[in-house]
Structure formats: structure tokens, C-alpha cells
Structure 1
Amino acid sequence: MSDPTPVFDDLREESRELDLLVAELTEQEWARATPAPRWSIAHQIAHLRWTDRAALLAMSDEAAFRKFAEQALTSPDSFVDEGADEGARLAPAELLTRWRDGRQQLDRALREAAARHTRFPWFGPPMSAASMATGRLMETWAHGQDVADALGVVRTPTDRLRHVVHIGVRARNFAFGVRGLPAPEEEFRVEVRAPWGELWTHGPEDAPQRVTGPAVDFCLLVTQRAHRADLALTAEGPDADRWLDIAQAFAGLPGAGREPKVGAPEEPGR
């Protein structure tokens, strides 16, 4: 088993970078709307705190987490929003403190759990500590993008994007299954290029169905932070083409995604 420490370190750094974006915001800025309907910057941070707490519960008390997940299934359309609403009602300083405390607790729990090679229940498939950290990093990056967009900040891409690409590729069959669609039988070739030129690849080199394009665009797609029409991703093959319409890296119900920008050009190859 490979050493999971790098993904734990990267999750900590991704969270720290988002913390720097929000730490000095005024109360009015915390209330600023983000691209997610009805969610302010406070909602975004409250959701990350809420999900960190869910992860800690899954790692510490499996029975309690399963009860928590069952409650979520009774009202899947509102459960996540209710959690974000609850946190967003806190004073910004209190919300920030609770998010920071939860991050530290989760960081310690992940590192301790990795030594035991334990798997934990989750809203999707069971998770190892490394997989849980990868999922938390993906969500932190995605919700951090919403915060950055609300503030008009352009973030510098980092090597941590490779984790978002990885989970996006691994979640391919889940994206089909959650929509009641049969998963493709064959693997795809995914080739995405980091902004500094490095090529990240997944799947057989000779696979007839392929997805290619910028790594940042692929991450925006699988986290549903941008519409496919606004991204420079190319699909070869009908199943790969369908995947780009429904891709999601996160567990739970199919996301609504984002609307295309007005007048956006059609994605090449469609």
C-alpha cells in the first residue's frame, strides 16, 4: 500500500489556502452570494465544516453515521442545504473557528486511521482514509472555487489538482449508476494537461474512447463548477461523450450543474 501522507498534507494545504481567502472578510463579504443558488460564502464554509463533521462521525461511530445517512435519505433535496443554513447563521468568527477546529480533528483522525488500514461508510462506496482525504480535498477545492468566483479571485492552479482528476476518473461508473444508466464496459483513456505542461493520464493508452483537455477544465467539469460548453474538453466515442454530460466526482444525487455562459461556443468535437 502506498504512503497516504501526501494526500493528507495536500488536503491540509488546500484548506489553508481557502482559509486565507476568507479569514479577513467582513461580515458583509461573508454574506456575498456565490454561484451556487441561495448559498453565500458563509454557506460554502459551513458546508465544508458540516461534511468534515460527517467524515469524523463515519470514522468514529459507524452506527451513528449510518443513522445520520438514513436521515439524509429521507430528505435528500434539503438535508445538505439545512446543514449549510445552520452553519451560515453563526457569526463569521465562530464559523471560521469551528471549521478550523474540525479540520484539525479530521487531519489527526485520518492519519491515525491510515495506520489501521480501516475502511469507513460514506454516502457513496466505503472509503479508506486516503480515499476520504481525496474526497475532502475535492470538495474543498470545488467549494473554494465558488468562494473565489464570488470574490472575483483567480486562483493559481497547483499540483493538488491531480487528486481531483483522480477521483473524477474513479467516479465515472458512479456518475452513470446514480442516473440509472449502465456503466460502460470498457475503460476510457483520460489525458489532461496541467497548466505548467505536465500530462496526467488514466486508462489504457490504446483505448478507443478518450477524453482530453486541460486538467483545470476537467476538474471544473467533474465538480460541476462549469458547464461542458464553456470548457475545452474533447470526447472521442459515444460513451465518453455521454460521460462528459453527466460526470460528477461527488457522492449523492445527480447534481444540477451550472448553466452555460450566454453565447458560449459549442465544445469542440460535439
Structure 2
Amino acid sequence: MSDPSSSVIDDLCRESEELDLLVGELGKEQWARPTPAPGWTIAHQIAHLHWTDRAALIAVTDAEAFKAEVEKALAAPDTFVDEGAEDVARLAPDRLLAEWRAGRKALEEALRAVPTGTRFPWYGPPMSVASMATARLMETWAHGLDIADTLGVVRPPTDRLRHVVRIGVRARDYAFAVHGLPAPAEEFRVELVSPAGELWAYGSEDAPQRVTGPALDFCLLVTQRTHRADLAVQAEGPDADRWLDIAQAFAGPPGAGRPPKGDVPEGDVPEGDVPEAAQGDTQ
């Protein structure tokens, strides 16, 4: 039987390669263009991915050393993500690109070498290989989307979004918790239409509370890249409806998200970042 984590790692590599095609030939001025994340240029977006890949590599290869990374995060929980991106974004674009490529390759090799069943530490719950690869794919997709929007490029959705969907579904209770709300006692039925037109379903078929819609829209919602009002995701039941207002697939405090279209004054950029996965075991 094939290792399911291998498939996730393959998809992570494909997602990264697709983003690489977007930024690989950019000029220096383009790297400095502001993206929809406030204060973040394209360089910051790639710098953040590289910074997090590095943290993941430490977690996978040296659990003791990773404790120091967690201590840094606890010392500055509201700023450590931005500070990490800022430090790396100062690199010259060609060096940043080279280091991002080398870093993600090193992480790929480390993940493929981890024995089946291994768990390693993270900023949230402990991670399996599949969980870490899924979290990295989610971030690569979300930050890549910000870059594509900045460049005016439309990226067709792929079935790799199933990994983002899975994190979003499994992070339901976490989203309630970080808002100081009790998690619903009953599971929801989630039915989403994949980019290829297939049905991705989670939860009991007879669950009274349901979430339905396009998988792409659900992913945009849980990564807080688009406001709920601009998406075709629908809820049945009060708890499911509340979830769609607060859903997040990333760990840490609730993000500010993006305002509805038409509410952003010209020249302003909305908030929204994906520091890491909210759930450890997504696979």
C-alpha cells in the first residue's frame, strides 16, 4: 500500500512549482509591489513561505532546536510572523528566490525521509508528515493567490484544494475556540463541489446542519482571502451559519480577513495572513 503522505508531498511540490513560475522571472521592481496583505510586498510573501519552510524543517529534523522557535513565538505572538517575513524580505530578489527554492527542496527531502507514524512539534498541535505537507500546501496556495492577484494573473483552481478543504473542515472547533465560543456538539455535513465537478463530502449525510458550495469558495473563506459576502458558500442551521462567519484554517488569533468587495477604499489593502495550520493531524 502506498504511503498517503507521499501524495500530499507531491501536491505540495506541484503547488510550489506553479508559484515559482509566477515569480521566477520577476524584475526587482515587481518584487517590491504591495500585495493584498497590508505592508507585505511580493518579496514578503515569498519570504514568509521560506521562513515557515525553515521552521518546518527544524521541527522535522531537530525537535529540541524547535523549542527555541516556539519560545520566540510565545515571546512575540502578535509580531513574530511579520518579523520573520520582514527579515528575509530584505534579501536581494535573486538570493531570496534561490533560498526559497533550496529551503523547500530540503523540507521535501526531510518529509520523505520521516518514518511512517512519526509526529513532530509545531506551533499548534503536533504534526504528522501528511499534516505538515498539507499545511505547507495551504500556505503556498493562499500566499500564491495574493501574489497572483497583485500581478493580475488568474490561477485556475485544481483538485489540490482538497487538502485546504480538509484543514478547514477539521479546524471547525478551533475556530470556535479562538473566538471564545463553545464548539458545536454535533458534527456538520459539508458538501463541496471540486474544481473538476466532483462532490467532496464530510460528516454524516443526515446531519441537520450543513455547509454547501464550491470548494474554491470554501478555501477562500477558511484562508480568509475573500469575505463571506462575496462567496457562494451556504449554511443551514445557526451553528453552521456562525461557523462561516469565523472559519479559519490557520492557527493563532482570529484574522481580520478581507472586507466585502466595494468596501475597500482605493489604494487600501485588506488584512489576512496564514501563519500555519490550525490542526495537527489533517490526514
Q: Under TM normalisation by the shorter chain, which class is it?
A: over 0.9
1:99 aligned residue:
100
Work out the CA distance in 1 between the residues paired with 2:195 and 2:98.
34
Count of aligned pairs: 263
Residue by residue over 1:19-42, the C-alpha shift from the partner in whole angstroms, topping out at 9 and shown as x without a partner, is 000000010110111100010000
For the residue of structure 2 that corresponds to 1:213, the secondary structure is: strand
Query: Per-residue CA shift, 1:84-108, capped at 9, x if unaligned?
Result: 1111110000000000000100001
Correspondence for 1:160: 160
**Aligned residue runs from structure 1 range 5-84, under 5 A:** 5-84=6-85
TM-fit CA distance, 1:263: 6.7
> In 1, are the aligned partners of 2:159 and 2:195 still within 8 Å (CA)?
no
| 1:100-249 alignment, distance < 5 Å | 100-113=101-114, 115-249=115-249
Could you tell me the percent identity over the aligned residues?
A: 71
* Aligned-pair Cα RMSD in Å: 1.3
SS at match of 1:117: coil
TM-score of the superposed pair, with normalisation by structure 2: 0.90
For 1:194 and 1:228, locate their aligned partners in 2 and report how far apart those are by CA, in whole Å. 18
Give the aligned residue type for 1:87. Answer: V
| Structure 2 counterpart SS, 1:50 | helix
Structure-1-length-normalised TM-score? 0.95
Question: Deviation string for 1:54-95 (max 9, x for gaps)?
Answer: 101111221221221121122112111111111111000000
- Say if 2:262 is the partner of 1:262: yes
Which sits farther off after the overlay, 174-183 or 213-222? 174-183
For 1:153 and 1:117, locate their aligned partners in 2 and report how far apart those are by CA, in whole Å: 39
Unpaired runs of at least 5, structure 2: 265-283
CA distance in 1, matches of 2:181, 2:175: 9
Q: Which ranges of 4 or more aligned residues in structure 1 deviate by more than 2 Å? A: none
CA contact (8 A) 2:192 2:213 kept: yes
Unmatched segments (≥5 aa) in structure 1: 265-270
CA distance in 2, matches of 1:129, 1:197: 29
In the other structure, the counterpart of 2:88 is: 87
For residue 174 of structure 1, report the CA deviation from its aligned partner.
1.1
User: Which range moved further: 213-222 or 249-258?
Assistant: 249-258
**Relative contact order (alpha carbons < 8 A, sep ≥ 6): 1 or 2 greater?**
2
Residue 276 of structure 2: aligned partner? none
TM-superposed CA distance for 1:195, in Å, is 2.9
